[in-house]
Structure 1
Amino acid sequence: MAAFEAAESSSPRPKPNPLAPFKYSKRVLLKTLLERGDGGAEFIGERVVIGGWVKSSREEKIEPPRAPPTPQDQAGPAEEQKDVSCVEILQTRIPFFRSIVKVFGGINYTVRPKLEGPAVPPKLLPSTAYLRVSDGSCVPSLLVVVDSSLASPSQLLPTGTCILVQGVLRQSSNPGKHAVELEADKVLHIGTVDQSSYVFSKKRLPLDMLRSCLHFRPRTTTVGSVMRLRSSLTFATHTFFQNHGFLNVQVPIITSTDSEGSSEKFLITAISSRDSEKEDQKFTKEKDNISLDVVKAAVKEKSALVEQLKRSESNKEALAAAVQDLKKTNELAAQLEAREKSKHGASSKPESSQNPFIEKTYLTVSGRLHLESYASALGNVYSFGPRFRATRVESPKLLPEMWMVETEMAFSKLENAMDCADDFFKVLCKWALDNCIEDMKFVCKRIDKTSIDRLQSATSKPFAKITYTEAVEALKKVSPSTHLIRKKLMLHHIYCILITISCGFLGQG
């Protein structure tokens, strides 16, 4: 058995096929082709199935070859035809005149046979469609060449068309820009689009324009790159904490606790604002002229009446009516007490049966309190999820929802939390450079030209760890004229804020 295992370990294992299709759709992801160092040139000649949507397209007509010259064409121009006489013209135009000429022995006229049947439409010229196809797995797109004999170009050319094609990879006709292209030999599926309602075009569209049609935004290169970066960094976050012995805790999104105390929160209720206003108006109108003391006195009287009827046991119907009346009076007293408390800051709204919660409930601002209880039992824990703050902002680009990393570590000091934040941030920067370089190149080209340089600087240099007091004192010493020095100190101050914020997320257990 040992010899067999040794032989198995010594035998060469087959290398994984880099062009293996996606397990659940039998198509090859473009990322496996186009994000290689050679741009996919290694796979020239391979037959693959790819699917995606058309980002841009063009069509080239194929001119038919000219027919070889006939012997008549080579012999030269034909003999000139004789001039047509007036009599021949009259015979052609007027059949009755032609009959008269025949009777008197005129010139014989040969009637040409008429063509019968509908006119034959001109034959469409064959063409080739060049489609730039993307499947969302990477920034680059693949050029797909489809002959008109496989599918109608009118279905393939519109931007946004979804296609699934099979073909052979060949060397690109434009090697300077792309390494490979796909010559399709079979079209497996076409998903057409309505061009009148499809907002995309070959021109670059501003993101603000797409706010009215959010379902199209993922097809923009910018949003696609951001989503791939976010997905990769989410995986990096879980990988970092799992490798360092942290346990992932899912804190509740709907909670009655307030972890920060001073932040604005979203209140959760099943009552619409319109129904709530109607309920308030009705409650205020009916109860304004009723005194709480009078209602409490009525409660005492009706309670005594109920006790008296219970002792007598003479009339059960009267007892049931008295109990029901007492219950309504108690509810009225509770509502009036709530109104009295509202004058001192409590809520004036009566309890409603439509509200699914028995107490005030909010969207979570932070999961810190939950993590502290788990850290006291499990040691090092972390949470990564959505957090909400009801801060009023004027800009439509600022959203009240954010995703936050929060950790709690048992038996750790402030320096340990700062080191953890430092390591975590550097891992994220290095992860983006190592695993998302194509998306980072796009970000550097279109959004921020210094993004890659700043990530490289963050991974290679240690952060300055100073207090807020030290940062403010350093800024006070800088003269307003020395702009460069002030800029460097501001950069250090930003790093200080970053570490402090991270330490706020990475609290001590």
Structure 2
Amino acid sequence: MKSYSINELLQSPPLKQKVEVNGWVKTFRSNRFIALNDGSTIKNIQCVVDFERFDEDLLKKIATGAALKIKGVLVESLGKGQSVEIQAEEIFVHGLSDPDSYPIQPKKHSMEFLREQAHLRIRTNTFAAVMRVRSALSFAIHAYFQKNGFYYFHAPIITGSDAEGAGEMFRVSTLDPKNPPLTDSGEVNYKEDFFGKETNLTVSGQLEAEAYAMGLGKVYTFGPTFRAENSNTSRHLAEFWMIEPEMAFYDLKDNMDLAEDFIKNIISYLLENCEEDLAFLENRLLDEEKTKPMAERSDMKLTERLKFVVDNEFIRITYTEAIDILRNSKPNKKKKFQYLINEWGADLQSEHERYLVEKHFKCPVILFDYPAKIKAFYMRLNEDGKTVRAMDILFPGIGEIVGGSQREERLDVLKEKIAALGIDEKELWWYLDLRKFGTAVHSGFGLGFERMVQFTTGMGNIRDVIPFPRTPQNAEF
């Protein structure tokens, strides 16, 4: 007998045939109706039990959270809420569940409570929907790049360089923390460490991806990155995933074109393939919005927000133009912004980015040509000597979601920028080599995967879009 997923039974029901399903009990009502879910869909399948057919001791074992195999005939349902149901003929208990101690009861749980049960929260409708969307988004990302001639590149997780220059990195070492070897000057002697130098977990695969783009043409990374930022906010994780394409012979305009097309493509895939999960998450978000003050409520439903990105051309303006708009905006003049815009060179905050997208332009925005002093050393310096060919993509409800740039391909200029920041050339000798041997215009961008999952699911906290979040003082699972 074929074992079906619940999604298969609901999509193409083999009516009046004997079927087999496996799953976990959501509810067992009136000692007669089992709601079973196997994770393949947001929907449960109802299994109807004739209690005269089954041993009473067996029925006592069926409780919320128990894992069952059920065999029976699939028939049209006469009850409300489901189109088909299984008339149970055989029940096998894979694993028992204690109804008194099982944490995921059929009731509303707070997000904080579910984070404490991260190993079981996937059995809730919300987290199952989020993780199915996350999986679909991963597939769409790989499919897009493979279709467009990119090669998947695995960047090293252990690195000796700080691509972002932030210094907030996790050290990797095999030295005895209580008694490390010391140099004559009393400092830790990393020459005796495993790699013979100080190493860390990577914050970005960009620099290494640049190297491979300068031989393969177009590459992309999609892997874990790490940042030791002691930040307990709804937007930060210590471990997160990044998508970072790098393209040889692409200038800033090419980079912006690719990023816009890429984002529209992957969101379109979700709209076409995750309809049920998105509908559930949209209703969940609507209920959540009702609890917020009017001023904090979103003007758009979840699917409207996704279509807003897909259906609109992204407006492209310079940082300088954006500063002029913000400086003269009502929120700035009336001092409604938390961070007032007074002069050119200010680092834009989420409130400024969202104003541009949601209030001023009413469409996604790409800002470019940022002040060099607030951007990374590897971004190409413009002819004005004060701006770089950087670009950020701004979304409704979230602000910046993509950051990228045309990379600095001129050896002399790159050396000057490195020296100005006090970076030792020896640390980046191989990166400078790329400018010595066949240098060329090239560009790339980075998309924080969890940030995109958060946007597409409407979840308010980034800790709820990754299976096991890593944050300050939290590595429980």
TM-score, with length taken from structure 2? 0.66
Alignment of 1:30-179 (within 5 A): 30-34=6-10, 36=11, 43-60=14-31, 129-148=32-51, 149-152=53-56, 154-174=59-79, 176-179=80-83
Which deviates the most, 47-56 or 210-219? 210-219
Taking the aligned partners of 1:189 and 1:165, their CA distance within structure 2 comes to 9
* Residue number among 189, 204, 210 corresponding to 1:372 in the alignment: 210
Q: How does 1:178-257 map to 2 (within 5 A)?
A: 178-257=82-161
The alpha-carbon deviation at position 187 of structure 1 amounts to 1.8
Which of 393, 403, 411 is 1:498 aligned to? Answer: 393
Counterpart of 2:374 in structure 1 is none
Matches within 5 A, 1:222-371: 222-271=126-175, 276=177, 278-279=178-179, 335=182, 337-339=184-186, 348-350=187-189, 355-371=193-209
Q: Structure 1 residue 213: deviation in Å? A: 2.7
Q: What amino acid maps onto 1:159 in structure 2?
A: T
- Output the CA distance in 1 between the equivalents of 2:233 and 2:264: 31
| Unpaired segments ≥5 residues, structure 1 | 1-20, 61-128, 284-334, 340-347
Q: Provide the C-alpha distance between the structure 1 equivalents of 2:172 and 2:252, rounded to a whole number of angstroms.
A: 36
Please report how far the alpha carbon of residue 350 of structure 1 lies from its aligned counterpart in structure 2 after TM superposition. Answer: 4.2
| Contact 2:255–2:405 (CA under 8 A) maintained in structure 1 | no
Between the two proteins, the alignment pairs up a number of residues equal to 345
CA RMSD of aligned residues (A): 2.8
Q: Distance in 1 between matches of 2:327 and 2:190?
A: 55
Q: Deviations over 1:7-62 (max 9, x none)?
A: xxxxxxxxxxxxxx9xxxx421111233x3xxx5x5321221111000111125xx
Q: Is the 8 A contact 1:266 1:363 kept in 2?
A: yes
Instruction: Look up the match of 2:328.
Output: 477
Following superposition, the deviation at residue 156 of structure 1 comes to 4.5
Residue by residue over 1:123-157, the C-alpha shift from the partner in whole angstroms, topping out at 9 and shown as x without a partner, is: xxxxxx21110000110110011223234354353
Shift in Å, 1:257: 2.1
Task: Name whichever structure is richer in helix by fraction.
Answer: 1
Partner of 1:7 in structure 2?
none
In 2: Cα distance, 1:369 partner to 1:388 partner: 15
Of Structure 1 and Structure 2, which has the larger fraction of its residues in strand? 2
Residues 151, 400 of structure 1: alpha-carbon distance in 2 compared, 3 angstrom cutoff: farther
Instruction: Determine if contact 1:418/1:502 at 8 Å carries over to the other structure.
Output: no
Distance 1:361 1:233 in 2: 32
| DSSP-derived class of the 1:473 partner | helix
SS of residue in 2 equivalent to 1:44: coil
Rounded to whole Å, the distance in 2 between the matches of 1:398 and 1:29 is 36
Matched, 1:465 2:465: no
Q: Distance in 1 between matches of 2:405 and 2:67?
A: 43
Q: Distance in 2 between matches of 1:215 and 1:446?
A: 22
SS of aligned partner of 1:406: strand
Report the equivalent of 1:76.
Answer: none
Once the two structures are TM-superposed, the CA of residue 404 in structure 1 deviates from its matched residue by 0.9
CA distance in structure 2 between the aligned counterparts of 1:371 and 1:155, rounded to whole angstroms:
58
Whole-Å separation in 2 of the counterparts to 1:229 and 1:493: 22
How far apart are 1:422 and its partner, in Å? 0.3
Structure 2 unaligned segments of length 5 or more: list them.
287-299, 337-353, 368-391, 395-399, 408-441, 444-477
Correspondence 1:430 to 2:268: yes
- 484, 489, 498: which one pairs with 2:360? 489
Bigger radius of gyration, 1 or 2? Answer: 1
2:7 maps to a residue whose letter is K
SS at match of 2:103: coil
User: Which amino acid is 1:255 matched to?
Assistant: T
Partner residue of 1:309? none
Contact 1:471 1:493 in 2 (8 A): no
Q: After alignment, is 190-199 or 243-252 more displaced?
A: 190-199
2:184 counterpart SS class:
helix
- 2:359 alignment partner AA: K
**Distance (Å, rounded) in 2 between the aligned partners of 1:31 and 1:336:** 63
Question: For residues 501 and 187 of structure 1, do their structure 2 counterparts lie closer, same or farther at Cα, with a shift above 3 Å needed?
Answer: closer
Q: Deviations over 1:155-188 (max 9, x none)?
A: 35310011111111111121x4211111111224
Counterparts of 2:105 and 2:33 in 1: how far apart (Å)?
A: 16
How big is the shift at 1:358?
Answer: 1.6
Instruction: Kindly indicate whether the alpha-carbon contact (under 8 Å) linking 1:259 and 1:366 is maintained by their aligned counterparts in 2.
Output: yes
The alpha carbon displacement at 1:501 in A equals 5.8
Moved more, 474-483 or 201-210: 474-483
Measure how far apart 1:219 and its partner are: 0.8
Could you say if the C-alpha distance between residues 52 and 494 of structure 1 is closer, same or farther in structure 2, counting changes exceeding 3 Å? Answer: same
Cα distance change of structure 1 residues 243 and 460 upon mapping to structure 2, 3 Å threshold: same
TM-score after normalising by structure 1: 0.62
Which position in structure 2 is the counterpart of 1:453?
Answer: 304
- Distance in 2 between residues matched to 1:56 and 1:207, nearest whole Å: 21
Letter in 1 for 2:201: L
Deviation readout 1:456-507 (Å, 9 max, x if unpaired) = 1211111111122111211223234999997522755765442686351786
1:493–1:476 distance in 2 versus 1, CA, 3 Å: farther
- Partners of 1:179 and 1:194 lie apart in 2 by 30
Q: 2 CA distance for matches of 1:433 and 1:493?
A: 18
